Amino acid sequence: MPNILDREAIVAPRQFNRWLIPAAALAIHLCIGQVYAFSVFKIPMMGHFGTGEVAVGWIFSVAIAMLGLAAAFGGTWVERSGPRKSMVVAGSFWVVGFLVATLGLATDQLWLVYLGYGVIGGIGLGIGYISPVSTLMKWFPDRPGLATGLAIMGFGGGALIASPMSNGLMSFFGGGSEAEQLEAGLMQTFLTLAGIYAVVIALGAIVIRVPHPDWKPTGWDPSKAASKPMQTKGNVSANSALKTRQFWLLWIVLFCNVTAGIGILENAAPMIQDYFDWITPAAAAGFVGLLSIANMAGRFVWSTTSDYWGRKNNYMMYLGIGLAMYLVIALMGGANLVVFIIATMVIISFYGGGFSTVPAYLKDMFGVYQVGAIHGRLLTAWSAAGVAGPLIVNSVIEAQAAAGLTGADLYTASLYIMVGLLAVGFIANLLVRPVDKKHYVPEDRVREKEPIT
């Protein structure tokens, strides 16, 4: 008798409506996507702990670093344990992280917030990010791009929901929207969010199912699907994948695409005000909101189109057109607001699309056998880009400012660096070829796992 958390306990019957599954995947991604809205806590926390922006900023940085590490080291466990157990574990880490951070707020111990939200919550982020992705791909073998787009769209959407909800909760508990009032409502807001996330992730874990071994989508012919040129017919293990050229080429592709996106995201509000000096702070905040929508929409739309165009072609578009858009901003971005907005929105939609298309790209390259674990290891590129992107952009801007440049000129050098990075990513993507058969896992080892997948 399998434990209710085990993979064997959640095998769906042969006749099952697969459209019930995306909501379960979205549920956990919408919850953990809150991390992108962490900035709403910055000023209240700075007031609460009487500290500066850098000290509070480290909470987010630790969480993202732990996301990459947990995804890389926990991927194999997630793959082995199945989606329900990994969702429950991820949700527990995420919620306990909030509770420990609340304790830190109550006792004025900032280190407890680093430990809670940063370290413990960050582990929940990493496991939660990859936990539903490979399951969704197994439910949608005919449209893996749509499947990963649906799940990872939630991570972008999480911030859209958490940002106004957190502000609303802080105002409600603090009795108003002044800085001191938001600060006063901080602790209750963390507790409330922990409760909401516990319930939603638990519902997701209840609903999630893995497909029956004999199930396949109506009218879908696996042999026909596997005949596409860039799709492998075999399966590669996570350990073997690390020894392939394809894994590292995709690592470079993801790193370049994410770094380029961060180049815009990191400084979106000051950037638009430096390019157009008549833009008000409220309008700049509106621009940030617009980019968030582009990020979320890109995750779903571009990943879905990759089912038709092919993953490699999609990345050609992300990196090639992204490069052209960066050039447009560098050469004529300050001339026209509409051109600036469209170019930045396209870049950010490609940034989001890059995240959601990569699991399907990995499935094409390495098969579905341990794609979750391989995805987890590839996400170290995200962690590296999270460090490199802001470092490049901020140090170039500082150097330009020190040299006496102002306005749009502050950004020109960093924009050209991003053009170079995207060119490197474009070439890396061009070099991606199907994986050599020598890396394939023997069919009997794959079959061993099949009854539970």
> Per-residue DSSP letters for 366-412?
H-STTHHHHHHHHTHHHHHHHHHHHHHHHHHHHHHHHTT--TTHHHH
Which residue has tokens 């280190």?
A: 111
Q: How far is CA 265 from CA 128, 161, 292, in A?
A: 23, 18, 9
CB of 73 to other proteins, least distance (A): 21
Strands of 41-130, DSSP E: none
Q: Does 141 bind other proteins (CB under 8 A)?
A: no
d(CA 253, CA 247): 10
CA 151 from chain center: how many Å?
10
- Please, which of residues 275-294 interact with other proteins by CB under 8 A? 279-280, 282-287, 289-290, 292-293
Beta-strand ranges (E) seen in 8-138 are none
Token pair 């603090």 in the structure block, residue? 174
Question: Does 218 contact other proteins by CB under 8 A?
Answer: no
In the complex with other proteins, which residue's Cβ is closer, 52 or 219? 219
Rounded to the nearest whole angstrom, what is the least distance from the CB of residue 31 to other proteins in the complex? 10
When binding is defined by CB under 8 A, the residue of 128, 204, 333, 354 that contacts other proteins is: 204
- Site for other proteins contains 18 (CB under 8 A): no
207 binds other proteins (CB under 8 A): yes
The least distance separating other proteins from the CB of residue 367, rounded to whole angstroms, comes to 18
Piece of 2-10, 219-227, 372-380, 385-393 that binds other proteins (CB under 8 A) = 2-10
Q: Are 249 and 330 in contact (CB under 8 A)?
A: no
| Stretch of 15-23, 84-92, 107-115, 379-387 lying at the interface with other proteins (CB under 8 A) | 15-23
**What minimum distance in Å lies between the beta carbon of 95 and other proteins?**
17
Structure tokens at 92: 């527990």
Pick from 5, 9, 43, 317 the residue near other proteins by CB under 8 A. Answer: 9
Question: Closest separation between CB of residue 396 and other proteins, Å?
Answer: 26
E runs forming strands in 126-192: none
Considering the rule CB under 8 A, would residue 213 count as an interface residue with other proteins?
Answer: yes
Which one of residues 5, 161, 317, 427 is an interface residue with other proteins (CB under 8 A)?
Answer: 161
Phi, psi of 11 (to 5 degrees): -75, 125
Q: Which value, to the nearest 10 degrees, does the dihedral of the CA atoms of residues 96, 100, 106, 110 take?
A: -140
> Could you tell me the smallest distance in angstroms from the CB atom of residue 83 to other proteins?
14
- How far is 187 from 192, CA to CA, in rounded Å? 9
440: three-class secondary structure by DSSP: strand
Left if phi > 0, otherwise alpha if psi is -120 to 50, otherwise beta: which for 336? beta
Instruction: Please measure the distance between the N-terminal and C-terminal CA atoms of the chain and give it in whole angstroms.
Output: 17
Contact 53, 46 (CB under 8 A): yes
In the complex, the smallest distance separating the C-beta of residue 33 from other proteins, rounded to whole angstroms, is 10
Tell me the site size for other proteins, rule CB under 8 A.
48
Shortest CB 451 distance to other proteins, Å = 4
* Cα distance between residue 412 and residue 128, in whole Å: 37
Residues 319, 426: contact at Cβ < 8 Å? Answer: yes
Q: Does 8 bind other proteins (CB under 8 A)?
A: yes
**Contact status: 200 vs other proteins (CB under 8 A):** yes
Taking the complex as a whole, the smallest distance from the CB of residue 229 to other proteins amounts, in Å, to: 33
Nearer to other proteins by Cβ, of 209 and 312: the residue is 209
- Interface with other proteins, residue 164, by CB under 8 A: yes
Check residue 317 for interaction with other proteins (CB under 8 A). no
Residue 46 is a binding residue for other proteins (CB under 8 A) = no
Q: According to CB under 8 A, which one of 42, 212, 216, 233 is a site residue for other proteins? A: 212
Residue 278: CB minimum distance to other proteins, A: 10
Residues that bind other proteins (CB under 8 A): 2, 8-16, 20, 23-24, 26-27, 30, 154, 157, 160-161, 163-165, 200, 203-204, 206-207, 209, 212-213, 279-280, 282-287, 289-290, 292-293, 341, 448-449, 451-452
